[in-house]
């Protein structure tokens, strides 16, 4: 009896989903073997340890059955079916809707295998998805979302129950891995003095709201001229963000160091962390920053209020003027006081206990 953890892809854009799955799988019984199937990419690109891995080497077009690849989809699914048939898997942990679409039709012919689908963010559902989900009894299929906000939205769309498993980390283990402020700043190429630094972490894509953050940061500089901004991540919007940095004459004030595998160890380099996202399934960065003792500025999203309640510092999505004002105000108060309030609201110790208990029940 074993668990197969099926992931859509590797690489920086998928690092947070790998983190969530590994946290869930950490609660499996030590006597139960776990294998990761990586449908795209290589294990070395995952950013976290994924244990034993089978790399399938597929493309997104092939997995989705687009164009010519629609003709090869039966062959691909036959390969999956054969591999599952000759495995000793009793449970599949499926990474989101794309993986579920590829595997659930196969599992209809393999009744001894149970599936858990983990939803990490909002997704576009097709009518056929509701049909496929509806063909499985609750004893064989569990749908799980990483936040209460996301679970409620999916349940309404699918008209089936969706369990909430709000992702969490072991606070003690997370804090023990953090680098001290000086070392973290050295790693990021920042001054070791008291220069105030606003940090942000995430893929460089439009949905993360970093274009708004740049404009707001530029607007706050006249009031806070020594302020620096660091955005850690990589993505398709890099060129546009670099062009905007040049337009705003922010060279030397804004750093884009790219994707960093050890970014979770570097939060103490920052005085505040900004999350100007347009949408999030959970926002692991918020949890990591608060556990590191760094307060968070975030978009006014239900999923962020779910975690920080009234202790959060919120600004409307893509409202440059309000973001400018909240940045300036943040660097006029004690970040330690705000961080303590946000830590109490997030309650990482209780959240980790609840997460662990729910994950163990899910995997048993």
pLDDT tens for each residue of 70-126: 788 889 999 999 999 999 999 999 999 999 999 999 999 999 999 999 999 888 888
Q: Which residues pair with 256 in a beta bridge?
A: none
Task: Kindly state whether residue 359 falls inside one of the protein's structural domains.
Answer: no
Segment among 155-159, 225-229, 290-294 with least mean pLDDT: 155-159
User: Does one domain contain both 27 and 112?
Assistant: yes
User: Does one domain contain both 290 and 215?
Assistant: yes
Question: How confident is the model over 236-262, as a mean pLDDT?
Answer: 96
User: Does one domain contain both 205 and 238?
Assistant: yes
User: Does one domain contain both 197 and 249?
Assistant: yes
- Write out the residue range of the structural domain in which residue 118 sits: 2-165
**pLDDT for res 62:** 87
User: If pLDDT is split at 50, 70 and 90, which confidence band does 48 have?
Assistant: low
**pLDDT for res 159:** 85
Task: Kindly state whether residue 157 falls inside one of the protein's structural domains.
Answer: yes
Task: Kindly state whether residue 254 falls inside one of the protein's structural domains.
Answer: yes
Question: How confident is the model over 265-288, as a mean pLDDT?
Answer: 96
Task: Kindly state whether residue 361 falls inside one of the protein's structural domains.
Answer: no
Task: Kindly state whether residue 103 falls inside one of the protein's structural domains.
Answer: yes
User: Does one domain contain both 337 and 280?
Assistant: yes
CA 190 – CA 252 distance, rounded (Å): 10
Backbone angles phi, psi at 257, to 5 degrees: -75, -5
Positive or negative torsion for Cα 206, 118, 316, 337: negative
Task: Kindly state whether residue 143 falls inside one of the protein's structural domains.
Answer: yes
User: Does one domain contain both 138 and 202?
Assistant: no
Q: What mean pLDDT value characterizes the chain?
A: 93
**pLDDT for res 190:** 96
Q: For the packed helices 348-363 and 335-346, what is the interaxial angle rounded to 10 degrees?
A: 30
**pLDDT for res 124:** 84
Task: Kindly state whether residue 354 falls inside one of the protein's structural domains.
Answer: no
Kindly report the CATH number assigned to the domain that includes residue 283: 3.40.50.2000
Question: How confident is the model over 222-241, as a mean pLDDT?
Answer: 96
User: If pLDDT is split at 50, 70 and 90, which confidence band does 261 have?
Assistant: confident
* Domain end residue (candidates: 165, 185, 210): 165
Question: How confident is the model over 15-32, as a mean pLDDT?
Answer: 91
Q: In this model, does residue 187 exceed pLDDT 90?
A: yes
Task: Give pTM, 2 decimals.
Answer: 0.89
**pLDDT for res 171:** 94
User: Does one domain contain both 119 and 256?
Assistant: no
Segment among 48-57, 120-129, 189-198 with least mean pLDDT: 48-57
User: Does one domain contain both 11 and 150?
Assistant: yes
Q: What percent of the chain has pLDDT over 90?
A: 82
Residue 90: other Cβ atoms inside 10 A: 13
User: Does one domain contain both 78 and 123?
Assistant: yes
- Number of structural domains (the chain) is 2
* Domain end residue (candidates: 141, 165, 189): 165
Task: Kindly state whether residue 364 falls inside one of the protein's structural domains.
Answer: no
User: Does one domain contain both 60 and 188?
Assistant: no
Ranges of H-type helices in 177-277: 181-188, 210-220, 238-247
* Domain end residue (candidates: 165, 183, 202): 165
User: Does one domain contain both 249 and 285?
Assistant: yes
User: Does one domain contain both 185 and 252?
Assistant: yes
What is the SS3 assignment for 189? Answer: coil
């Amino acid at each position: 009896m074993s668990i197969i953890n099926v992931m859509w892809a590797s690489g920086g854009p998928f690092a947070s989903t790998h983190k969530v799955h590994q946290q869930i799988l950490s609660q499996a019984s030590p006597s139960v073997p776990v294998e990761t199937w990586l449908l795209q990419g290589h294990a070395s690109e995952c950013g976290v340890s994924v244990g034993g891995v089978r790399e399938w080497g597929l493309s997104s077009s092939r997995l989705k059955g687009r164009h010519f690849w629609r003709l090869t989809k039966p062959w691909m699914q036959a390969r999956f079916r054969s591999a599952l048939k000759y495995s000793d898997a009793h449970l599949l942990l499926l990474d989101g809707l794309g993986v579920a679409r590829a595997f659930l039709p196969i599992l209809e012919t393999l009744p001894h295998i149970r599936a858990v689908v983990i939803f990490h963010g909002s997704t576009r559902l097709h009518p056929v998805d509701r049909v496929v989900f509806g063909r499985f009894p609750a004893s064989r299929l569990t749908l799980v979302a990483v936040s209460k906000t996301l679970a409620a939205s999916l349940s309404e769309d699918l008209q089936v129950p969706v369990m909430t498993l709000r992702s969490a980390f072991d606070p003690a283990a997370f804090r023990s891995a953090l680098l001290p402020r000086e070392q973290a700043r050295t790693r990021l190429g920042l001054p070791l003095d008291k220069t105030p630094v606003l940090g942000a972490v995430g893929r460089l894509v439009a949905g993360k709201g970093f274009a708004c953050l740049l404009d707001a940061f530029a607007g706050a500089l006249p009031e806070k001229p020594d302020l620096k901004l660091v955005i850690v991540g990589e993505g398709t919007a890099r060129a546009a963000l670099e062009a905007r940095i040049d337009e705003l004459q922010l060279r030397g004030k804004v750093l884009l160091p790219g994707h960093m595998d050890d970014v979770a160890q570097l939060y103490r380099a920052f005085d505040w962390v900004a999350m100007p996202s347009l949408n999030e399934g959970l926002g692991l960065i918020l949890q990591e920053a608060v556990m590191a003792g760094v307060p968070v500025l975030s978009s006014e999203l239900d999923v962020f209020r779910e975690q920080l309640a009234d202790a959060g510092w919120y600004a409307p999505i893509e409202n440059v003027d309000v973001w400018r004002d909240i940045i300036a105000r943040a660097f006029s108060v004690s970040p330690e006081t705000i961080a303590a309030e946000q830590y109490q609201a997030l309650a990482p110790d209780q959240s980790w206990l609840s997460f662990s208990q729910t994950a163990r029940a899910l995997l048993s």
